[in-house]
Amino acid sequence: MAVLARISTVNKQWRRLCSNPELYKHVKIYGLLPAGALQWLAPRAGKIESLSFSNLVAAVGCAQPPLHVGSFGPDPRFPKPAQFRHLFAPDPAAYMRGLEAVLQACTHSLNSILLSAVSSVFSQGILGMFARHSPNLKCIKLEENQFAGAHGGLCQIAAGCPLVERFSISEMEYNMEDENSSLNDNTMGELVFHWRNLRHFSVDRNAITLQGLCLLRHCENLQTLYIGYLRDCGDQFFERFPAPDSMILSRSVKDIVIDVPAITVSGTIRPLVLLCPNVEDIDIVHEEWSWDDDEGVLDNHEDLAVLQQEYPKIVFKRFGEPFNIVAERIQDDCD
């Protein structure tokens, strides 16, 4: 976008060409954000389909987008955003006015948003703004943000954007004493009530419990589930797992990705198989997970071999690569 902003100053013909909304279907804004950048984008935003904000830093007193690429995307010639923080005071009011103008222009076309590492300076009310102006959103990704009152904002966006099919949330940190600072069980109830067409759900570093996660059973089209760090990581998350017939997470989920350390087959993987009786793929992607427990309490290798024999239709994976644990165990014994 910065390149187009720069060449639009050449002459009237270039300015007219650079104002074509077809050029701005997928907008990514990274780092230093001048106060007038979003106002500049608004008249050209009528056909935006995806909008991404990453590592935002606001700059006051700059009415037009700067003429170097580093303002709107990574550029090794310029310092990283963190190095600008002491030079520019945040201007959230101008930022929010510009964002609202952009969202009003692309109300019918915007279907995907990514907010990554957006500080609390900018995030106050930002989810509610998307809820008011982006009813056709189908994909929402929230990564490592510092949202103030995340519960209220998520409830608003759930009610205002009922067509969401893909939702991903991970947080830099959450306050265990204030559950409203994160995705929690009450928030999950609101999400699944409005998002019945949800197909992909990803949660990492949030305060949700097993009971809240099992509310996903109301999303009958759910296909993929990603589980990262939760309030109780690893086996502790399932330590009070009830009988399989009394709690079901999802009957529709086919693919599960587990990115959690300190898990065992009997404590985490087997409960997930029982909670999702129609699962077909289970992918373990955490680097610290090993076959053999260091304390000798459980042998993950043997337990997973037994589980694979019990459920031969399930494909177990490691970082996306299928493996046959029984065959690998035999090969290890031969070596």
Q: Is residue 306 part of a domain?
A: yes
Low-confidence ranges of the chain (pLDDT < 70): 1-11, 14, 32-35, 56-92, 119-124, 146-149, 172-182, 230-236, 239-246, 262, 288-301, 324-335
Q: Is residue 295 part of a domain?
A: yes
Q: Is 318 helix (H, G, I), strand (E, B) or coil?
A: strand
List CB contacts of 97: < 8 A, sequence separation 6 or more.
38, 39
The one-letter code for the residue type at 50 is: S
Cα distances from 323 to residues 30, 82, 150, 274, 326, in angstroms, run 39, 42, 39, 21, 9
Q: Up-side HSE of residue 144: CA atoms within 13 Å toward CB?
A: 7
Residue 211: what pLDDT? 82
Q: Is residue 234 part of a domain?
A: yes
Q: Is residue 188 part of a domain?
A: no
Sign of CA dihedral 232, 238, 239, 240: positive
Residue 297: what pLDDT? 34
Q: Closest by alpha carbon to 43, among 115, 113, 98, 108?
A: 98
The one-letter code for the residue type at 79 is: P
Q: Is residue 142 part of a domain?
A: no
Alpha-carbon span 119 to 28, nearest angstrom: 17
Residue 264: what pLDDT? 77
**What is the tens place of the pLDDT at every residue in 125-172?**
788 899 999 999 999 999 877 665 677 888 999 999 999 999 999 875
Based on the structure, what is the number of domains in the chain?
1
Q: Is residue 329 part of a domain?
A: yes
Q: Which domain holds residue 274?
A: 209-335
Residue 113: what pLDDT? 95
Strands 50-59 and 26-34: parallel
Q: Is residue 21 part of a domain?
A: no
Q: Is residue 16 part of a domain?
A: no
**What pTM did the predictor assign?**
0.80
Q: Is 235 helix (H, G, I), strand (E, B) or coil?
A: helix
**What b/e string do you get for 280-295 counting C-beta neighbours within 10 Å, with b at 16 or more?**
ebbbbebeebebeeee
